[in-house]
Amino acid sequence: MNQKKEVGEKAVEYVKDGMVVGLGTGSTVFFTISKLGELVKQGLSIKGIPTSIQTEQLANQLGIPLVSFTEINQIDIAIDGADEVSADLDLIKGGGGALLREKIIAKAAKTFIVVADSHKLVNKLGSFPLPVEVVPFGVEMTTKYILELGGAPKLRQKNGSPYLTDNGNYILDCHIQPIIHPEELERDLNMIPGIVDNGLFVGMADYIITMNEDKEIDIK
Ligand code: 5RP
């Protein structure tokens, strides 16, 4: 059984005709978007708003009509994956580097649904290094301030160069384990000059679609 496919496809049940849908990024929500593409071909009328260039390309291939924030000011539902989901339903996101657009879209959505296989469920966040999006200018100083906060930042690399987000920024993957007070950490990190945003999504998820030990769909 492919858990990512099961939970990803389950989320389309929340999408209704006429909705503006935030389309997440990653290998789990890929199944949501693919299913939505099938439904659009069968007549479902939705408009998508993508969280990354990768998702924009996928939606275009599947024929899902897209809109941007110049055309809308609210999103009915956003569906996205996560790297970790805590017992309090807080999240670490950004493993795929799209955390900034993902957070903007999740915040603008009336309902934010997370699709996550059971391996993403943890008691406390922090085993997965927290992605932090930073502007390239002064990254050395930004790194120093994160170290002072107790994180161990590592500049994300791709093909031997710093990884660049869709916004032209760097990602620092920060080992901060365990994250006891995610709300405080999210705020403290975002006070550091040079940090654009971080991958903590605290109190944002309305539903988590996952699987239980019996490999049945579990909605939290
Ligand atoms: C991308 C993300 C993804 O939602 C997260 O990395 C989960 O991805 P996957 O479903 O491939 O495990 O935050 O920035």
How much is the ipTM here?
0.98
Q: pTM of the prediction? A: 0.97
What mean pLDDT do residues 27-54 have?
Answer: 98
pLDDT of residue 1: 75
| Tens of pLDDT, residues 43-85 | 999 999 999 999 999 999 999 999 999 999 899 999 999 999 9
Q: Considering the chain, what is the average pLDDT of its residues?
A: 97
Q: Is the pLDDT of residue 26 over 90?
A: yes
| CB-based pocket (< 6 A), ligand 1 | 24-28, 80-83, 93-99, 102
pLDDT of residue 127: 96
Q: Is the pLDDT of residue 147 over 80?
A: yes
- Which residues, 6+ apart, have CB-to-CB distance to 66 below 8 Å? 47, 48, 49, 50, 56, 59, 60
Ligand 1 atom closest to the CA of 120, numbered from 1: 12
DSSP string, 39-88: HHHTT---EEEESSHHHHHHHHHHT--B--TTT-S-EEEEEE--SEE-TT
Please name the residue whose Cα sits nearest to atom 4 of ligand 1: 81
pLDDT of residue 214: 85
| Tens of pLDDT, residues 108-136 | 999 999 999 999 999 999 999 999 999 99
Contact 105, 51 (CB under 8 A): yes
Q: How confident is the model at residue 97 (pLDDT cuts 50, 70, 90)?
A: very high
Please identify which of the residues 102, 133, 184, 213 carries the catalytic annotation. 102
From 83, 85, 101, 169, give the residue whose CB has the most ligand 1 atoms within 8 Å, as the site to mutate.
83
Residue 102 falls in the annotated catalytic set: yes
